[in-house]
């Protein structure tokens, strides 16, 4: 009986589909399954992922974590432990001792790290052996070849694409001692590290050939030149990632129109997160997903994630999301909100899991969810380590999000990661995200030592791993007849340099093509701006006017119409401060500060600081701005104290007024009124960095009559000969700026108010478009 060994399960499926007489199927395994069945480890049990992590946490000291640059905090250690395991696994697979690495570290740049890792490695191995556990790190030193399994096969034929670690290469050669092993391998400039291993055992291989090697007799059974296709290649750049999906769909239509069967088309996603977007737009059900379907769009995950967002920040947006998903906010508040920053206990964990489980009916997802929950229970509650609920929640989301659902009976076109394409030929190939930071994909295996040290120790380097990926891309592309490649081209992304290496004769354009494809995904609506006049029969004298509404009307009648007649408001959810917010806060602080008539008699610095602290707690985004004002107010208080020492008193703050003048209702609020003898000083605070008062040269173009309205309101109330002096208080430069053209502006204001007695008004757009830059309605006006 013969055994066929392929790189992946997908390659096996492809081979089975190509066999015409399915009644005589040979035994077929993937390379991973073959290695597992070919070895035995008597008395030892393979350790699972959670036990493995907990074992490492037990054998590593806090100071060792710190010296390696890791935190001993549970959640941080969970994240960084993967680096340690990858390092240990790599040196184990390459049969390299850490002491050999020390010798390769010529300049002793990593000696301290390697000493610590060597100590941890010994403790971890001791822990595994003590409890008769084994994992990939310990396996090379314990295994035996399982000849009782292998002897049932007369021939073992391996279709090899990839890289054999030294351990795997050793195992293959040990198997070949008693079994006839035929190995198929292709050689080119990119996988030289892989095929040179065979030169070391007596084969003389060269680049550019497909070989069949008999490892038992050390004989080259066949040697053929690799024949590449000359595919039609299309490379297109996009400004946004999502528009690549439109390109995929267009490419599929083109290839099928040219006679390529859908089952012979593959979509390769170098970054598998792209698959989640593709699922959302698969309205035609074109695709099946080799890596399975994500659960990001399942109700279970949406509820789990939305509860976390709410517990982390209960803003209006997160509340609306809970309501939309029909989540019991009262239950969430009662059971989880109060303990979110506390230690996680089993009963709280169980309540959360039970509630989330009620949101899902899919049997497969529920079963996989329960499997993850079982492992999380072991992770959180089988040691004395304590973890905060909020930190545990992050781990829960991370583990649950890794669940994928089997994708069967879906579309004909397969979506794959690069490694899944090994040893499969497709007529049509589509590759997305062909960008510098993704193709070839970066590795995180060089965490503790440099590429130079790895090279000295004969470990696979970053360069070797990237070359292997290039080999896979070349094999995939130059077996096809049509190849469509897309990439992101904007200020943060550019096409991979590997593209110019692969397609040296192809002229790659730097122009993006979004406009030619985006209509496939969504209708790009263009706003039909209303440019005609808005004429209303209206008597504006019947309206109440504040300084703000009058300024809006005089600046732009169209803006006034939208804001004060139609009452269109900004749609705003974010906690980030709006332009006016810092001014409002400073006004509130000063109002409360001056409510006490004996404002400067005692402890005024402390009172002002307390007012700043109260506001700082309300909006953390404004901490920096408020601290700058707090420092500035040290000088402000001294300036104010000097004024009060001269006999000035505050007689009112935030004083509302409502008066009639020239038949017009004027309303507003005066920030502050000071008195010195029979002189009243009307003060309006300004936090703007550029406060200016009108002059005799420019007052006739003014649209701001705030101080004039304050003056009229206070004058009407006093009805005596008191002197009224209106001022802007420039809080940035700490200056009182007097309105020097008060009487001229009062005359101008009277003329303006007289024009408000109207029967019909044309609410035209302003002529000066610079006013539109910060206007909320500029989109409506097409400005």
- Residues 677-714 pLDDT 10s: 889 999 999 988 788 899 999 999 999 999 999 999 99
- Quick one: DSSP state of residue 44? -
Chosen domain end from 199, 225, 251 = 225
Alpha helices in 336-480 (DSSP H): 346-357, 363-381, 389-401, 451-456, 462-477
Specify whether 401 is located in the same domain as 451: no
Specify whether 401 is located in the same domain as 348: yes
Q: Stretch 705-730: mean pLDDT, rounded?
A: 91
Specify whether 387 is located in the same domain as 438: no
Least Cα distance to 477 among 765, 315, 235 occurs for 235
Q: What is the pLDDT of residue 207?
A: 94
The predicted-structure confidence for 491-509, as pLDDT tens digits, reads as follows 889 999 999 898 887 888 8
Mean pLDDT estimate for the chain: 88
The pLDDT confidence band at residue 659, using thresholds 50, 70 and 90, is very high
Rounded CA-CA distance 269/432 in Å is: 6
Measured at the alpha carbon of residue 328, what is the angle toward residues 326 and 330, in degrees to the nearest 5? 150
- 751 alpha carbon, distance to own chain's centre: 57
Q: What is the pLDDT of residue 751?
A: 95
> What is the 3-state secondary structure of 732-763?
CCCEEEECCCHHHHHHHHHHHHHCCCCCCEEC
CB count, 10 Å around CB of 384?
Answer: 4
The pLDDT confidence band at residue 625, using thresholds 50, 70 and 90, is confident
Rounded CA-CA distance 421/583 in Å is: 60
Specify whether 285 is located in the same domain as 305: no
Chosen domain end from 372, 405, 438 = 405
Structural domain contains residue 559: yes
Q: Stretch 578-590: mean pLDDT, rounded?
A: 79
Rounded CA-CA distance 138/657 in Å is: 83
Backbone dihedral angles phi then psi of residue 185, each to the nearest 5 degrees: -145, 140
Q: How many domains is the chain built from? A: 5
Q: What is the pLDDT of residue 410?
A: 79
Specify whether 14 is located in the same domain as 30: yes
Chosen domain end from 197, 225, 253 = 225
Specify whether 483 is located in the same domain as 499: yes
Least Cα distance to 52 among 95, 81, 15 occurs for 81
Q: Identify the CATH number of the domain in which residue 427 sits.
A: 3.40.50.300
Q: Stretch 445-474: mean pLDDT, rounded?
A: 82
Q: Does residue 170 have a pLDDT over 90?
A: yes
Structural domain contains residue 83: yes
Least Cα distance to 713 among 680, 678, 735 occurs for 680
Specify whether 11 is located in the same domain as 24: yes
8 Å CB contact between 63 and 149: no
Rounded CA-CA distance 31/158 in Å is: 8
8 Å CB contact between 741 and 707: no
Rounded CA-CA distance 305/307 in Å is: 5
User: Exposed (0-12), middle (13-18) or buried (19+): which is 505, by Cβ within 10 Å?
Assistant: exposed
8 Å CB contact between 270 and 441: yes
Q: What is the pLDDT of residue 106?
A: 55
Least Cα distance to 710 among 754, 735, 674 occurs for 674
Q: Long-range contacts of range 497-501, CB-CB < 8 Å, 24 or more positions apart?
A: 497/436, 498/439, 498/440, 498/470, 498/473, 499/235, 499/434, 499/439, 501/470
Q: What is the pLDDT of residue 448?
A: 67
| Residues whose CB falls within 8 Å of the CB of residue 409, separated by 6 or more in sequence, listed in order | none
Structural domain contains residue 783: no
The pLDDT confidence band at residue 569, using thresholds 50, 70 and 90, is confident
Specify whether 330 is located in the same domain as 285: no
Structural domain contains residue 419: yes
Least Cα distance to 139 among 34, 37, 46 occurs for 46
CA dihedral 383, 388, 392, 394 (to 10 degrees): -150
Q: Stretch 419-447: mean pLDDT, rounded?
A: 87
Q: Does residue 593 have a pLDDT over 80?
A: yes
Least Cα distance to 588 among 681, 704, 669 occurs for 669
For the chain, give the percent of residues with pLDDT over 90.
Answer: 58
Q: Does residue 38 have a pLDDT over 60?
A: yes
Structural domain contains residue 525: no
Rounded CA-CA distance 528/269 in Å is: 38
CB count, 10 Å around CB of 213?
Answer: 25
Pairing of strands 293-294, 404-405: antiparallel
Q: What is the pLDDT of residue 49?
A: 85
Q: Stretch 618-634: mean pLDDT, rounded?
A: 78
Structural domain contains residue 667: yes
Pairing of strands 428-431, 723-730: unpaired
Structural domain contains residue 583: yes
User: Exposed (0-12), middle (13-18) or buried (19+): which is 698, by Cβ within 10 Å?
Assistant: exposed
Q: What is the pLDDT of residue 225?
A: 96
Q: Does residue 550 have a pLDDT over 60?
A: yes
The least confident of 181-185, 263-267, 597-601, 707-711 is 597-601
The neighbouring-strand residues paired with 186 are: 210
The tokens describing 738, both together, are 């007097």
Q: What is the pLDDT of residue 577?
A: 58
Q: What is the pLDDT of residue 597?
A: 64
The predicted-structure confidence for 89-131, as pLDDT tens digits, reads as follows 999 999 998 888 888 765 455 678 888 999 999 999 999 999 8
The tokens describing 106, both together, are 């010529």
Alpha helices in 179-298 (DSSP H): 192-199, 243-257, 274-280
Specify whether 742 is located in the same domain as 643: yes
Q: Long-range contacts of range 656-660, CB-CB < 8 Å, 24 or more positions apart?
A: 657/709, 657/710, 657/713, 657/714, 657/717, 658/544, 659/712, 659/713, 659/716
The pLDDT confidence band at residue 447, using thresholds 50, 70 and 90, is low
Backbone dihedral angles phi then psi of residue 438, each to the nearest 5 degrees: -120, -35
Measured between its terminal Cα atoms, the distance across the chain in Å is 78
For the chain, give the percent of residues with pLDDT over 70.
Answer: 94
Element (H, E) at 323: helix 316-324
The pLDDT confidence band at residue 51, using thresholds 50, 70 and 90, is confident
Q: What is the pLDDT of residue 323?
A: 92
Q: Does residue 666 have a pLDDT over 70?
A: yes
The pLDDT confidence band at residue 22, using thresholds 50, 70 and 90, is low
The pLDDT confidence band at residue 628, using thresholds 50, 70 and 90, is confident
- Quick one: DSSP state of residue 160? -
The pLDDT confidence band at residue 526, using thresholds 50, 70 and 90, is low
Rounded CA-CA distance 680/717 in Å is: 12
Structural domain of residue 586, as residue ranges? 535-772
Specify whether 283 is located in the same domain as 303: no
Specify whether 178 is located in the same domain as 242: no
Rounded CA-CA distance 202/200 in Å is: 6
Q: What is the pLDDT of residue 761?
A: 93
Q: Does residue 27 have a pLDDT over 60?
A: yes
DSSP 569-630: -------SPPTTHHHHHHHHHHHHHTTSTTTTTS-HHHHHHHHHHHHHHH-GGGHHHHHHHH
Structural domain contains residue 528: no
Q: What is the pLDDT of residue 222?
A: 96
Measured at the alpha carbon of residue 736, what is the angle toward residues 734 and 741, in degrees to the nearest 5? 145
Q: Identify the CATH number of the domain in which residue 598 sits.
A: 3.90.320
Specify whether 280 is located in the same domain as 420: yes
Q: What is the pLDDT of residue 620?
A: 65
Q: Stretch 614-631: mean pLDDT, rounded?
A: 75
Q: Does residue 572 have a pLDDT over 70?
A: no
Q: What is the pTM of this model?
A: 0.68
The predicted-structure confidence for 314-357, as pLDDT tens digits, reads as follows 888 889 999 999 999 999 999 999 999 999 999 999 999 999 99
SS3 state at 78: helix
The tokens describing 366, both together, are 């529920």
Q: What is the pLDDT of residue 676?
A: 87
The tokens describing 282, both together, are 């698969």
């Amino acid at each position: 009986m013969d055994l066929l060994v392929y790189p992946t399960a997908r390659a096996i499926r492809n081979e089975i589909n190509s066999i015409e007489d399915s009644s005589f199927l040979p035994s077929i395994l993937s390379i991973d399954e073959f290695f597992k069945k070919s070895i035995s480890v008597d008395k030892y049990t393979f350790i699972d992922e959670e036990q493995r992590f907990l074992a490492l946490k037990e054998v590593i000291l806090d100071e060792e974590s710190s010296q390696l640059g890791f935190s001993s905090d549970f959640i941080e250690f969970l994240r960084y432990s993967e680096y340690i395991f990858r390092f240990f696994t790599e040196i184990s697979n390459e049969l390299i001792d850490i002491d050999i690495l020390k010798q390769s570290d010529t300049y002793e740049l990593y000696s301290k790290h390697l000493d610590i890792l060597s100590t941890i490695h010994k403790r971890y191995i001791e822990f595994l052996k003590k409890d008769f556990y084994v994992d990939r790190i310990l396996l090379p030193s314990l295994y035996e070849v399982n000849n009782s399994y292998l002897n049932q096969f007369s021939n073992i034929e391996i279709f090899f694409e990839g890289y054999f670690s030294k351990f795997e290469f050793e195992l293959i050669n040990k198997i070949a001692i008693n079994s006839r092993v035929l190995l198929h391998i292709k050689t080119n400039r990119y996988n030289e590290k892989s095929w040179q291993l065979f030169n070391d055992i007596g084969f003389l291989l060269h680049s550019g050939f497909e070989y069949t090697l008999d490892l038992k007799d050390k004989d080259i059974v066949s040697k053929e030149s690799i024949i590449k296709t000359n595919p039609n290649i299309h490379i297109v750049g996009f400004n946004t990632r999502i528009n690549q999906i439109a390109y995929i769909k267009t490419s599929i239509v083109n290839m099928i129109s040219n006679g390529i069967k859908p089952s012979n088309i593959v979509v390769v996603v170098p970054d598998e997160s792209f698959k989640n977007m593709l699922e959302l737009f698969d309205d035609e059900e074109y695709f099946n997903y080799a890596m399975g379907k994500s659960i990001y769009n399942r109700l279970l995950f949406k509820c789990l994630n939305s509860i976390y967002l709410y517990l982390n920040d209960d803003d209006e947006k997160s509340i609306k999301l809970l309501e939309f998903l029909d989540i019991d906010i009262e239950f969430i508040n009662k059971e989880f909100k109060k303990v979110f920053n506390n230690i996680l206990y089993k009963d709280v964990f169980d309540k959360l899991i039970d509630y989330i489980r009620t949101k899902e009916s899919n049997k497969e997802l529920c079963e996989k969810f329960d499997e993850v929950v079982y492992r999380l229970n072991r992770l959180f509650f089988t040691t004395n380590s304590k973890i905060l609920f909020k930190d545990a929640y992050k781990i829960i989301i991370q583990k649950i999000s890794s669940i994928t659902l089997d994708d069967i009976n879906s579309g004909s076109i397969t979506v794959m990661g690069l490694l899944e394409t090994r040893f499969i030929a497709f007529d049509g190939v589509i590759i997305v995200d062909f960008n510098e930071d993704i193709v070839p994909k970066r590795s995180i295996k060089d965490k503790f030592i440099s590429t130079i040290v790895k090279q000295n120790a004969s470990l696979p380097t970053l360069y070797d791993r990237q070359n292997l990926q290039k080999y896979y891309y070349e094999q995939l592309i130059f077996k096809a007849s049509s190849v469509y490649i897309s990439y992101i081209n904007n200020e943060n992304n550019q096409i991979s340099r590997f593209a110019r290496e692969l397609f040296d004769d192809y002229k790659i354009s730097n122009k993006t093509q979004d406009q030619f494809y985006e209509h496939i995904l969504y209708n790009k609506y263009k706003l039909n701006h209303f440019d005609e006049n808005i004429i209303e029969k209206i008597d504006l004298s019947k309206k109440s006017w504040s300084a703000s509404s009058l300024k809006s009307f005089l600046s732009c009648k169209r803006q006034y119409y939208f804001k004060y007649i139609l009452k269109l408001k900004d749609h705003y959810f974010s906690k980030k401060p709006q332009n006016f917010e810092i001014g409002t806060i400073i006004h509130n602080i000063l109002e409360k500060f001056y409510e006490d008539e004996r404002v400067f008699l005692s402890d005024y610095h402390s009172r002002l600081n307390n007012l700043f602290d109260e506001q700082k707690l309300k909006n953390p985004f404004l901490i920096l701005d408020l601290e700058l004002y707090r420092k500035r107010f040290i000088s402000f208080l001294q300036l104010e104290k000097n004024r009060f020492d001269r006999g000035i008193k505050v007689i009112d703050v935030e004083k509302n007024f409502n008066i009639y003048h020239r038949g017009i209702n004027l309303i507003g609020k005066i920030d502050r009124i000071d008195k010195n003898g029979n002189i009243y000083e009307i003060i309006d605070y300004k936090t703007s960095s550029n406060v200016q008062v009108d002059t005799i040269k420019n007052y006739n173009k003014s649209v701001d009559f705030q101080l004039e309205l304050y003056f009229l309101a206070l004058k009407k109330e006093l009805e005596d000969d008191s002197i009224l002096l209106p001022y802007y208080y420039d809080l940035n430069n700490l200056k009182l700026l007097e309105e020097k053209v008060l009487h001229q502006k009062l005359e101008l204001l009277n003329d303006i108010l007289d024009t408000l007695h109207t029967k019909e008004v044309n609410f035209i757009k302003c002529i000066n478009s610079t006013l539109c830059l910060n206007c909320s309605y500029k989109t409506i006006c097409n400005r």
